[in-house]
């Protein structure tokens, strides 16, 4: 299969009103969920790492919103929006962030390891690029078992310089696996820009080395984003042709809630991307098309507000996992003995590090 030219922006104008409203609601839900998550983190109700999708809602909704019930999804650690976009319950996502037993992964995974097997969302992975070989394996399984779906694998711009990216794309190409690889290019891997990290900063071109269709879209324009994966997923399902899609977007917050995200990004750049807020832009499009008016916008916002508040209340009221059950729901081939050193309340779970006994409080 030869390569094809990048599409950049090809807004799909043939989308039903119902689908447009669904995408809009999805984006508003993700934004509000993330804003409230940030607030819950600062109130010390969420521990560990926490990476938000704010600013990237069109990329999330346009890609994940294109999956059918036969397809499977893999993502990185910036995954709250992904889990909501597959239709996951905000209650179960928030409870997972709070580390509660009622969470998507029974509180064992937290923010970076969401999981919704029922809806074919197979994580939520904390190691940069780790999801790529896993997604290729899932695509192989679909092909081997003669099942109809495809796999979508999302990862950040920094993952394209990880060995697993090259191994994964190469295998997918030579074995004709039904996998659509999606780069969420938000221009930075932590504080390092794509220009500083990548010898070829046009990341979509990487797919050409594996002779797969490779495209770039405007990740702030949900209709442009949505058009490309729909087409590429069809190619994957029907012709077992893998593809690479790059979505150009921007995170409005820092890398994680612990990073203000200002020192390495010029204010002018932040302002320029803020002026292209994906939700504001889509709302304008829908108003122009007569699909949304003030009352409809207000109704969506109120509905989402109540839903997210309900998720927070639910998470707060849910029980913590019982420490006795620490080994349940986890992959533990060697048995629980590996965890004997773990102590409750220790920063990294260790009972004893360099003479510090966290369990007794002595240091």
Ligand X SMILES: Cc1ncc(C[n+]2csc(CCOP(=O)(O)OP(=O)(O)O)c2C)c(N)n1
For residues 187 and 131, give the distance between their C-alpha atoms in angstroms, rounded to a whole number: 20
Q: Per rule CB under 6 A, is residue 134 in the interface with ligand X? A: no
Tell me: does residue 79 bind Mg ion (CB under 5 A): no
Q: Closest CB to ligand X belongs to which residue?
A: 156
Segment near ligand X (CB under 6 A); pick from 95-103, 181-189, 258-266, 336-344? 181-189
Tell me: does residue 255 bind ligand X (CB under 6 A): yes
Buried b / exposed e over 296-320, threshold 16 CB at 10 Å, is eeeebeeebeebbeebbebbeebee
Helices (H) and strands (E) in the chain, counts: 11, 10
Task: Give min distance, CB of 198 to ligand X, in A.
Answer: 10
Cβ 290 to ligand X shortest distance, Å: 35
Does 249 bind ligand X (CB under 6 A)? Our answer is no
Binding to ligand X by residue 203, rule CB under 6 A?
no
Range 181-200, binding Mg ion (CB under 5 A): 186, 189
Query: Given the rule CB under 6 A, which of 79-87, 153-161, 285-293, 351-359 is the region that contacts ligand X?
Result: 153-161
- Residue 156 binds Mg ion (CB under 5 A): yes
Among 28, 92, 142, 159, interactor with ligand X by CB under 6 A: 159
Place of tokens 């993700």: 30
Name the residue among 102, 59, 72, 333 with its Cα closest to residue 217: 59
- Residue 255 touches which of Mg ion, ligand X, none (Cβ within 5-8 Å per kind): ligand X
**Residue 157 interacting with Mg ion (CB under 5 A):** yes
Q: Are 243 and 181 in contact (CB under 8 A)?
A: yes
Binding part of the chain for Mg ion, among 155-163, 175-183, 229-237, 261-269 by CB under 5 A, reads: 155-163
The answer to whether residue 78 forms part of the interface with ligand X (CB under 6 A) is yes
Longest dimension (CA), the chain: 67
Q: By CB under 6 A, name the one of 17, 68, 117, 127 that touches ligand X.
A: 127
**Which residues are within 8 A (CB) of 112 and not within 5 positions of it... i.e. 6 or more apart?**
48, 49, 51, 77, 79, 124, 125, 126
In 3D space, the residue among 134, 132, 141 whose CA is nearest the CA of residue 161 turns out to be 132
Q: Nearest residue to Mg ion, using CB?
A: 156
User: In degrees rounded to 5, what are phi and psi of residue 122?
Assistant: -100, 35
Give the one residue of 55, 62, 189, 219 binding ligand X; rule: CB under 6 A. Answer: 189
Angle between helices 294-317 and 90-97 (to 10 degrees): 50
Query: If contact means CB under 5 to 8 A according to the sort of partner, which of ligand X, Mg ion, none does residue 128 touch?
Result: ligand X
Task: Summarize the chain as % helix, strand, coil (round to 5).
Answer: 45, 10, 40
Would you count residue 157 as binding ligand X (CB under 6 A)? Answer: yes
Residue 132 near residue 159 (C-beta atoms within 8 A): yes
The residues binding ligand X (CB under 6 A) are: 78, 126-128, 156-159, 184, 186, 188-190, 255
The residues binding Mg ion (CB under 5 A) are: 156-157, 186, 189
């Amino acid at each position: 299969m030869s390569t094809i030219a990048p599409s950049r922006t090809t807004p799909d104008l043939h989308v039903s009103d119902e689908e447009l409203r669904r995408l809009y609601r999805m984006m508003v839900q993700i934004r509000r969920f993330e804003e409230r998550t940030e607030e819950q983190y600062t109130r010390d109700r969420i521990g560990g790492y926490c990476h938000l999708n704010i600013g990237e809602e069109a990329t999330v909704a346009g890609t994940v919103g294109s999956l059918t019930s036969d397809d499977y999804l893999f993502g990185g650690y910036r995954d709250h929006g992904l889990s909501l976009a597959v239709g996951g319950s905000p209650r179960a996502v928030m409870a997972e962030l709070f580390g509660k037993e009622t969470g998507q992964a029974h509180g064992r995974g937290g923010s970076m390891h969401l999981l919704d097997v029922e809806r074919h969302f197979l994580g939520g992975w904390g190691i940069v690029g780790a999801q790529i070989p896993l997604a290729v394996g899932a695509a192989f399984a679909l092909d081997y078992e003669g099942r109809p779906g495809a796999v979508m694998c999302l990862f950040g711009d920094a993952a394209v310089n990880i060995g697993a990216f090259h191994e994964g794309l190469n295998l997918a190409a030579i074995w004709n696996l039904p996998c659509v690889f999606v780069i969420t290019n938000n221009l930075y891997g932590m504080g390092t820009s794509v220009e500083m990290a990548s010898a070829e900063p046009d990341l979509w071109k990487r797919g050409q080395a594996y002779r797969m269709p490779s495209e770039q879209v405007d990740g702030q324009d949900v209709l442009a984003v949505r058009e490309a994966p729909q087409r590429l997923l069809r190619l994957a399902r029907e012709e077992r042709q893998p593809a690479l899609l790059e979505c150009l977007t921007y995170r409005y917050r820092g890398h994680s809630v612990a990073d203000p995200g200002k020192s390495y990004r010029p204010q002018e750049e932040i302002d320029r991307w803020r002026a292209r807020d994906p939700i504001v832009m889509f709302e304008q499009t829908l108003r122009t098309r007569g699909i949304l008016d003030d009352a409809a916008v207000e109704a969506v916002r109120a509905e989402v507000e109540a839903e997210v508040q309900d998720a927070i209340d639910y998470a707060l009221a849910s029980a913590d996992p019982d420490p006795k059950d620490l080994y349940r729901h986890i992959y533990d081939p060697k048995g629980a003995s590996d965890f004997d050193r773990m102590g409750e309340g220790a920063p990294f779970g260790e009972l004893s590090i360099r003479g510090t006994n966290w369990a007794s409080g002595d240091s």
